[in-house]
Structure formats: structure tokens, C-alpha cells
Amino acid sequence: MTKNEIKALISLLEDPDHEVSTHVEEQIVALGVSIIPFLEEEWEETLDADVQKRIEDLIHSLQYEGLLARLKEWKETGAEDLLEGMWLVNSYLYPDVEKATLVKGIEQLYFDAWASMQEEMHPYDQVKALNHVLFREKKFSANTKNFHSPANSMLHLALETKRGNPLTLCVIYMTIAQKLGMPVYGVNLPNLFILTYKQDSVQFYINVYNKGLVLSKTDIDNYILQLNLNPVDIFYDPCPNLEIIKRALRNLAFSFEKMDDLEKAAEVTKLLTAITDNDPVV
């Protein structure tokens, strides 16, 4: 369709005949995300509040379906790029934020951390140096006041405000650590996402939410004991990127539930279902 044909189609959303406007909506959705700029242009030009709302709903629907497809593709192609996965989660609330924004934020922190590293550092000293950069120099810290806010699951906001939940802070820390060549990975503890430094016979844990506090296996044992849970491998071993993104989506869905925004909670749960092996989208 030409630009004029698309604009003519969108203008029919104002048709008072409900059957006509509904048919137009179906045609618009069939055109996919490429029509969004034309919808945005029409939104700015119309003075009809009802039409504006319909356009907003159409844009959200198109963006959501596009996100759903990209998230499934990310999983099916190996879920190798954690930053891309976090960007996709980010895109649910902030579809206009580009992945390059996240990459730039991480790169800036990486160069600052790299400058503080020395060759042949002991693992504990590496963690100490990275802790100093992130928590003392850059002032990253836990967002305890608004812990359940959906914003806490948005990586670009964690980079901007230097506040986040355990998972967003861990992703920032882990991504930088891995770029520095450190064997640091995520660990899916109940109620708290942490990191582990694991290489050969060396393994210890890092609580990023508590300014990079180093923990031993005994500390993890005691934590699990306090929760009255059985100590299983997933509480100690590195988890794959896919599990991190699943947890990010669970966090986000729970945040919306706490806000009584059940529609958004359901949409995020559908995104989670799309990348969960045994529970495919129908």
C-alpha cells in the first residue's frame, strides 16, 4: 500500500459505522508494526478523543504482538544475548528505548571498571575492585522504597537512576564482570537473585543487592534452611540466560498484580508463557 492509501485507511477509524471501523482495525493489524508511524501521525492530527484511544490501543496491540514474536525468536535462537533479552523485557513498557541505549550504559561502566583492574588479580580482589566502582564511585544501590514498582524491572531505568531490584542490578554487574573476563553468573535463589563466581575449584557468591557482599556456600545453606526448603542444585549453580529472563518477566507480572493492573499482569504472563517449554501459548 502507498502512503496515501495507508492514511486513507487509517482515517476510516473515524467512520461512525462500527462494522466499518472494526473491519478497518483488522486491516491495520494485518499490516503489522510498519504502520505504527502512520498511526502516530493520525493520533496527532485527530481531535476525536475516542479515535485517539482506539489508535493508542492499536499501537499497543501491534507493539505487543511484535514483542511476543521477538521474544520467542530470541529463545528459539539460543537465548545467548542476555542484554537483548533484558531489552525485550524493557520494551514492554518502553518500546521506544533502543538496545543501543542499554549497550552504551553498560560500556561506560565497563571502561570505568576495566581501568581499576590489574593483571593476575585474585578473584576476591576482582570482585572488590568491581564493587568499588559500582557501589562507591557510581553509587549504584538497592531500590528499597519502591521495590515492587514495574520500573524496577526496566534495565534502562536502573542504569539511569542507579537504583534497581536484585535482578536488574545483578544483570548490570554480571554483564560488566563477564566483559572483564570474570566467570560470574546468575543464581536463581528463592526470593533473591544473586551471582556466583565459579571457576575450577573456586566458587563463592555475590549479593549485588547488598553492595556486592561476598557469601560462602555455608551462607547459602543457612539462607535456604531459614526458608525451610530443601537444598537443590539450582540454588547453588549458575542458571542460563533464559531462566533470568523468565524471572524478570515474573517480577514484572508480580509488580502489576501488586498495583492491581491485572490486564498488564496478564499480558506479561503471556510473554512468560511464550518462552516456557512446557506451557506453550495457545
The pLDDT of residue 1: 66
| Distance (Å, whole) CA 140 – CA 227 | 28
Instruction: Assess if residue 156 is contained within a domain.
Output: yes
Indicate the average pLDDT of the chain: 91
87 and 66 inside one domain:
no
Domain end marker among 76, 91, 120: 76
Residues 128 and 176 in one domain: yes
Residues 198 and 182 sit within 8 Å (Cβ to Cβ): no
How many whole angstroms separate alpha carbon 3 and alpha carbon 25?
17
Position 5 pLDDT exceeds 50: yes
Same domain, 61 and 90: no
Domain identity same for 270 and 133: yes
Are 107 and 171 in a shared domain? Answer: yes
Statement to judge: residues 219 and 248 lie in one domain: yes
Looking at the fold, whether 16 and 125 belong to one and the same domain comes out as no
Kindly provide the b/e burial profile for residues 245-260, where b requires at least 16 CB atoms within 10 angstroms of the residue's own CB.
bbbbbebbbbbbbeee
* Confidence at residue 202, expressed as pLDDT on a 0 to 100 scale: 95
Domain extent, residue 11, equals 3-76
Last residue of a domain, one of 35, 52, 76: 76
Residue 280's pLDDT band, with cuts at 50, 70 and 90, is very low
Model confidence over 110-133: pLDDT tens digits? 999 999 998 889 999 999 999 999
Residues 71 and 152 in one domain: no
**Beta carbons within 10 angstroms of residue 8's beta carbon:** 11
Report how many domains make up the chain. 2
Q: What is the pLDDT, as a whole number, of residue 30? A: 79
Does the pLDDT at position 18 exceed 80? Answer: no
Same structural domain, 108 and 57: no
* Euclidean distance between CA atoms 222 and 134, whole angstroms: 27
The answer on pLDDT for 282 being more than 60 is no
**Mean pLDDT, range 145-170, rounded to an integer:** 94
Whole-prediction pTM: 0.88
Kindly state whether residue 256 falls inside one of the protein's structural domains. Answer: yes
> What local confidence, expressed as pLDDT, does residue 281 receive?
40
- Please determine, for residue 86, whether its predicted confidence score (pLDDT) is greater than 80: yes
Last residue of a domain, one of 76, 94, 120: 76
pLDDT band at 278 (very low <50, low <70, confident <90, very high): low
Judge if 155 and 234 occupy the same domain: yes
pLDDT tens, position by position, 33-74:
878 888 888 788 877 788 788 888 888 989 999 999 999 999
pLDDT at 15 over 60: yes
**Exposure of 143 by Cβ count < 10 A (0-12 exposed, 13-18 middle, 19+ buried)?**
buried
Q: Is the pLDDT of residue 279 over 50?
A: no
Domain co-membership, 111 together with 242: yes
What is the distance between the alpha carbons of residues 216 and 219, in angstroms, rounded to a whole number?
Answer: 5
Is 282 within the bounds of a domain? no
Same domain? 103 vs 134 = yes
